[in-house]
Amino acid sequence: MVTEFKFPDVGEGITEGEIVKWLVKEGDQVKEHDALGEIETDKAIVEIPSPASGTILKINKKSGETVKVGEVMIVIGEKGESARVTVPTRELPAANIPPKPVYKPAGAVGYLEEAPEEESQIEPLLKKAASVDTQQILASPAVRKMAKDMGIDLSTIKGTGQEGRITEQDLKGGTKQEVKITKKYDFYGYVERVPLKGVRKSIAKKMVESVSKAVHVTHFDEADVSRLWHVREREKKIAEMQGVKLTFLPFIIKAVIAGLKKHPGLNSSMDEESEEIIYKKYYNIGIAVDTEDGLIVPVIKNAQDKSILDIAKEIDVLAQKARDRKLDLADMKGGTFTITNIGSIRGIFATPVINYPEAAILALGRIHDRLSVADGTKVHVKKILPMSLAFDHRITDGANVAKFMQTVIERLEDPNLIMMERD
């Protein structure tokens, strides 16, 4: 029996994915739950387990190609069976997807179980697709090669040959099929065209959504982190003995949480349908990580309940998983406030784009030295941390943001307040 493995409607606003790589080739024998390949959706990469045992009859998508909901990714059957190609006419209904299954990589590959609310929703991609008997596209190998060279999708061509077979004439002159010619130069010189896909495509969609819905305003401020600098230098050595890399970020996260508790408007989101502001009573802090593929934002869940060292450990683990593209979709969901550190590369101030639907995002600049005069006579050096806070003006106002920043700055300038903070 032929099984066509379609890319299903998994919810979460996901309409397509990108084939990262196949681990099998046509003609290979596979068992149910064997890994077939890897697919990327919404910045997360997961393995695709086989929905059935049998022979790989056809792989419909190459590595790097995009697959949309309802399209057949791979066809599995018995050796010698004919691989039938399904032309998708509609997306698979969400009702056909079991509620909240989650893929557990440990143990039996492809094992599904009921997941709690915050667990990944991406794993319904691994759902076993039903076998569909549809009409085969009739065309000779020579015609198929010609269509490929001309950039023509055979599923869009009506064959005029016997039994609807597509002929060379259908491709050459019998159709109005347009072939898109991509120029490698413009009026001024040569150019390179790179497809918008993967993480960059997800970022682009997210940014457009944010700027089209939230009303962005940016507040700029500074903190004298000279005392925090010395505290971190001292504690860094202790942390290294425990195998922990201690940066300034865990201290800043704790200071931010203190500010969010006093000014909950910055730890909220807007429910546009019900016209309500949703104030979150938990503090899930997203940390923007710069990777080779683009910016990825894993989330530290319930950061208010974790110590400085616990947060430092989690940052290190999540950042490495992000760079290795091993994050689960659940690792990037549930954020209530985001911090991005432009100063780790270089930069003083910025106008960050809110990680919608969150209400605000804090951009950290590069800590730098500044000469200061005390008592009109004594000159000393301060360590200055620039900060840029973008917020949704629909949810809160500039005065509340200034007070929030005051709370954050007080704790950064007096680290004892961070250490004494109780949840």
For residues 307 and 305, what is the distance between their CA atoms, to the nearest angstrom? Answer: 7
- Residues marked as catalytic: 393
Give the tokens for residue 163: 């039994």
166: which DSSP letter? B
CA atoms within 13 A on the CB side of 111: 7
The pLDDT, as a whole number, for residue 135 is: 45
The pLDDT, as a whole number, for residue 139 is: 80
> Which stretches of the chain drop beneath a pLDDT of 50?
87-135, 174-177, 423
**How many angstroms separate the first and last alpha carbons of the chain?**
59
For residues 402 and 399, what is the distance between their CA atoms, to the nearest angstrom? Answer: 5
Strands (E), 232-280: 268-271, 276-279
The pLDDT, as a whole number, for residue 181 is: 63
Judge: domain 3-136, CATH 2.40.50.100: yes
Give the tokens for residue 233: 């230098």
Give the tokens for residue 54: 């049998």
Strands (E), 62-100: 66-68, 72-77
To the nearest 5 percent, what fractions of the chain are helix, strand and coil? 30, 25, 45
The pLDDT, as a whole number, for residue 45 is: 86
The pLDDT, as a whole number, for residue 11 is: 61
Please state the CATH superfamily assignment of the domain spanning residues 199-420 in this structure: Chloramphenicol acetyltransferase-like domain (3.30.559.10)
CATH 3.30.559.10 residue spans of the chain? 199-420
CATH 2.40.50.100 residue spans of the chain? 3-136
